[in-house]
Structure 1
Amino acid sequence: MTITPDPAVRRLPTQEITTTTDTREILANARRDTERYGLDDYFIVDVDSHHVELDSWPEILQYLDSPVLRDSANQMMRNWPNAARLALHNHSPGLTMQDVSGRIPHQASLGEETPGTTSGADRDATLVRRAMDAMSIDVQVVFPQPMLETGLHPQPEVATALLQAYNRWFTAEVLPREPRIRTMLGLPFENPDACLETIEEFADTPGVIGFLVTSQRHAGVHRNAYMPVYRELERRGLPIGFHAGPNQADTMTSTMNRFLSAHAMSFVTCNMTHMTNWVVNGIPERFPGLKTIWIESGLAWLPFMMQRLDHEYSMRQSDAPLLTRPPSHYIREMYYTSQPMEWTDDKLLAATLEAIDAENTLMYSSDWPHWDFDVPGRIAALPFVSEHGKRNILGETARKVFSLGG
């Protein structure tokens, strides 16, 4: 996609970035990569980006079906000022460590000016559009942020209601404002019947290209109750994604005394657990046409999983009677997003990409506006990926997985 740079946008020294800095100024250097690698000639799909749904929370809560929950939310927002943008949510703002004690402040609040916007949804669409244009992105898949923690909500029925309200708000208010925005809607995984209802309600909605499980949750994805959900997604040709998220309070991370430690592990181990149950219980054999995507877990864990599960399977095949091949074969046939790509050693990264057949299974993601985001030039700079592979990773694989056409 060819974008004409805004002459008023400048490149900023890092120390000038604040919570009110314009997205286009933060991403001005992305244009340098676009010109250097000729990315205007690529079809680029960003498979994982975010908006801050809590900025629009009062609007979202009005989409709650239950008048009792809706009234409770309104009372919370009216009587508890600190709950104005958190009512009924399980997000813990007191442990928001992402801005590194103020040294990376932009994610703490997307406070930039958006003149002319009249609602939270209008503002969200404006901010997404700015990021897309700055990074030369043709299609951007947008997810919420704090709602990635919804699977840990202490009241499962409230978690279901919040996801349903969010899905209705996003499809009614955000998607119609920008045709380049797409989404994989979150499934209320606490309730398999509600998952099926969600698919039925939104599968044909323009801009909805798949469905999502927020991975921070204590649920066995292999339970028989979920099989109708997977069957319905397979029947409709819609992918399922598992989007990782943070958790500093489970039985493992609660022993860690640094955010760095919990961040490094929690985004990976939740998807490691789900993938193990997914593969060992033969879900790929039962639903061979279901496209499965693992999102925001990085890539370094995958060779470990392939080797570890193959090793165990070679000695205990009777524990995985549905499998007809070693676990690594199924892992190699699933899909992955690139962010965060652990590029600290060329040889290790090259081996990882080869192990997962990245030129055919990896899809670019920015993870914008998170503090550790990656621009498309990150993929274009890979010295051990072919030109054909780079085009696939940046957009062509996503075109096939999501049936984007054209």
Structure 2
Amino acid sequence: MGTYKYRVVDSDAHYMEGLDQLVDYFPEPWKTRMIGGSGKDKASIAGIYPISTGDRSIFGRIQRDEFTEMQRKAGGFVPEIIPDVMEFLGVDAINMLSQKMLTFSRIKGDDERATLLANAYTDYMLDKVVDPSEGIYTMIPIPFQEPKEAVELIDRVSHEKGIIGGCFVTAGPEPPFGNRKYDPIYEAAEANNLPVVFHAGGGGIDEFVSAGYEKFIETHVLGFLMANQSQITSLVVQGIPEKFPNLKIVFQESGVFWIPLMMHRLDTEYLKRQSEAPLLTKKPSEYIKEMYFGIQPLEIPDELSYLRQVIDMIGGADRLLYASDYPHWDYDPPSAITDLSILSDDEKKRILSGTANEVFGI
């Protein structure tokens, strides 16, 4: 048991991997292309995709001095830093997601970059980082651009004890994730009892879908939210929960207030045009109530009863997973849940670790 009186499982933290850590897990000729490109790292990020501008950590109210100090002492974000992160957060188990995965939306070409990154990251994490005996887990960053290769990756590593899910980035896929193009990925995940996580992305000012915004706060309010809204709409209307009824579906990193909005908006449209969603056997809201949602970034209104209503509308605390999003600048510590007076003790236990046990087996 960590800092809190409850067992805590962090379902969404990020391993800040550098390409210098991954380069040895790339095949040739990519390895040679990447080495020495930046002049300061072993591998150049420019060999994979463009670099986003801006630093999300500046200007914000939340500072990351403690994380900077951890990295300084450890010599960077290396596997040895993870126990310090867990101790700082007060968590008993942690799921480390790829940081590079969040940029998959920038890969627009019909090529193998996403597949190379996904395989290299997964192999590196299994080799150097993942340790279920210490509560350290990861997920496969799904290279959705190439479904055949994504299936091969799932089949190759999903049996590993440290792999607890497959993660899709919700920004940028064309077509959206309800399209039949991705059915082989869902089929493989379901067959391997691998939950799928849809993780928001696309909240940067330089890569937002609509040009003209001037401040990061504008696109951060909208970007992650819109990415998840677009994908949950596609998944439900195209009948993914019907086609793959044993597939566990999780959405991460958009808070929770958007979920009832989408439930009722989808119900309203569906009841007027049911013929356009022929696979559905019940209202969209009923499918959404069977999904799971990470809490981060949790909205805390002045009137807490509003949050209580939202939790009840989406199916109760059983639908929620604690997620820190550490070390990103706007992370939520477990106290975001433990300090909520509107939750019972059993509900806090459920959110902090019970749902993670049910969904991911942690």
Which residue is equivalent to 1:6?
none
Deviations 1:188-247 (A, max 9, x none): 110000110110111012210111111222232122232121112112221000111224
Counterpart residue number, 2:22:
60
Match of 1:147 among 96, 101, 105: 101
SS in 2 for 1:114: helix
Secondary structure class of the residue paired with 2:73: coil
Q: 1:140 to 1:370 in 2, by over 3 A?
A: same
Q: CA deviation at 1:103?
A: 7.7
Q: In the alignment, is the contact (CA less than 8 A) between 1:151 and 1:214 conserved in 2? A: yes
| 1:132 maps onto 2:96 in alignment | no
For 2:13 and 2:69, locate their aligned partners in 1 and report how far apart those are by CA, in whole Å. Answer: 14
- Distance, in Å, in 2 between the alignment partners of 1:169 and 1:256 is 37
Q: Report Cα offsets for 1:92-130 as digits up to 9, x if no partner.
A: 353223322798354995663335x7xx6xx53222211
Give the aligned residue type for 1:233.
Answer: A
Residue 332 (structure 1) aligned to one of 276, 280, 289: 289
- Structure 2 unaligned segments of length 5 or more: list them: none
In the alignment, is the contact (CA less than 8 A) between 1:239 and 1:292 conserved in 2? yes
Q: How many residues align?
A: 358
Rounded to whole Å, the distance in 1 between the matches of 2:300 and 2:12 is: 19
Task: Note the alpha carbon deviations across 1:250-305, whole angstroms, 9 max, x for none.
Answer: 56442311100101111111111111000001111111110000011111211110
Q: 1:351 aligns with which of 304, 309, 317?
A: 309
Matches of 1:72 and 1:102, distance apart in 2:
39
Q: Check if 1:99 corresponds to 2:55.
A: no
Between the aligned partners of 2:152 and 2:69, the Cα distance in structure 1 is: 33
State whether structure 2 residue 117 is matched by structure 1 residue 159: no
For residues 290-369 of structure 1, the aligned pairs below 5 Å read 290-345=247-302, 346-369=304-327
Matched to 1:217, the amino acid is G
**What code does the residue aligned with 2:79 have?**
A
Q: Letter of the aligned partner of 1:296 in structure 2? A: E
Contact 1:91/1:146 (<8 A) preserved: no
Larger radius of gyration: 1
**Residues in 2 aligned to 1:377 and 1:87: alpha-carbon distance in whole angstroms:** 39
**Percent identity among equivalent residues?**
32
User: Are the equivalent residues in 1 in contact too, given 2:45–2:51 (CA < 8 A)?
Assistant: no
The 5-angstrom pairing of residues 72-111 of structure 1 reads 72-77=33-38, 80-81=39-40, 84-90=43-49, 92-100=51-59, 104=63, 106=65
Paired amino acid for 1:283: I
Partner of 2:134: 179
SS at structure 2 position matched to 1:76: coil
Q: Measure, in 2, the Cα distance between the counterparts of 1:103 and 1:399.
A: 30
Q: CA deviation at 1:366?
A: 1.1
Question: Secondary structure at 1:385's aligned position in 2?
Answer: coil
Q: Within 5 Å, which residues of 2 pair with 1:24-39?
A: 34=3, 39=4
Equivalence for 1:276:
233
- The answer on 1:44 being equivalent to 2:1 is no
Matched with 2:352 is 394
- The aligned runs of 1:112-261 (5 Å cut-off) are 112-114=71-73, 124-155=78-109, 156-176=111-131, 179-219=134-174, 220-245=176-201, 246-249=203-206, 252-261=209-218
Structure 1: runs of 5 or more not aligned: 3-33
Q: Would the alpha carbon gap of residues 107 and 76 (structure 1) be closer, same or farther in structure 2, given more than 3 Å must change?
A: farther
2:35, 2:42 within 8 Å by CA — same for their partners in 1?
no
Q: TM-score, normalised by structure 1?
A: 0.82
Q: Which TM-score applies when normalising by structure 2? A: 0.91
Change in CA separation of 1:378 and 1:101 when aligned onto 2, cut-off 3 Å: closer
Shift of 1:133: 1.8
Looking at secondary structure, tell me which structure has more helix per residue: 1
Measure the CA separation in 1 of the matches of 2:144 and 2:292.
21
Using the TM superposition, give the Cα deviation of residue 142 of structure 1 relative to its aligned residue in structure 2, in angstroms. 0.7
Taking only aligned residues, the RMSD between alpha carbons, in angstroms, comes to 2.4
Within 2, Cα distance between the matches of 1:102 and 1:89? 32
Contact map agreement 1:99 1:106 (CA 8 A) in 2: no
Task: Give the match's secondary structure for 2:130.
Answer: helix
**Larger deviation: 160-169 or 246-255?**
246-255
Task: Report the Cα distance in structure 1 between the residues aligned to 2:177 and 2:26, rounded to whole angstroms.
Answer: 27
SS at match of 2:256: coil
